[in-house]
Amino acid sequence: MLSNKKGGKYLSFWMILVWILIATGIAFGVSIFYAANIDVKTLEANVLLKKVADCVSDGNDVEKWALDEKSDLLEKCDLNKNHFGDDSNYFVKVKTTDYDSNRIISGFKVGNHAFEADCDVKKGLLSAKKFPNCVERDFNLLNEDKLVFVEVIASSNAVGDRRRNAR
């Protein structure tokens, strides 16, 4: 039926060109996807802060364990101990203070303790890429008809990297 095959050499040229363009597009898309570093420090710090703040408070009352420094913050708040070592990317500080006397009742610090100083330094800086992002929340709770001032600080220095975090 198709005995006239004069256009075959032109068709194969365009077909190869289209294949090259498709392969280049796929390679370009994959390289962009895997090269992306995503800054998730603030998001992780906010999630961590909310989880710890909800754990410390029981509605308008402070949890009794939060007033005892012998309690394990990681266990009570269901946080993974593997993520809160001295060289980790996370830090949480919870401090409870008597509202009237300003006396510290209890304090918890878990994670990379160097981040506490880094948070103070970063407050004075406009931009610092290598520093952790810190979020802070203060609130008042009741403890047997007495006000307790609770301060929660959470920080994260984790940078989303698909190659490193894909384990």
Q: Are 72 and 131 in the same domain?
A: yes
Note whether 22 and 76 are same-domain residues.
no
* Residue 4: band (very low, low, confident or very high) from pLDDT cuts 50, 70, 90: low
Q: Are both 83 and 103 inside the same structural domain?
A: yes
- Per the structure, the complete domain to which residue 147 belongs is given by 40-159
Residue 18 inside a domain? The answer is yes
How confident is the model over 132-157, as pLDDT tens digits? 888 999 988 888 878 889 999 999 98
Q: Are residues 139 and 58 in the same domain?
A: yes
8-state DSSP, 6:
T
Counting the structural domains of the chain, the total is 2
Over residues 71-111, the pLDDT tens digits come to 888 898 888 888 888 888 899 999 999 888 888 888 899 99
43 CB-contact burial (10 Å; exposed 0-12 / middle 13-18 / buried 19+): middle
Q: Is residue 2 part of a domain?
A: no
Are 53 and 31 in the same domain? no
Give a yes or no: residue 80 inside a domain: yes
Output the six-digit token pair for 37: 């570093």
Element (H, E) at 12: helix 8-35
**Separation CA 120–CA 105 (nearest Å):** 23
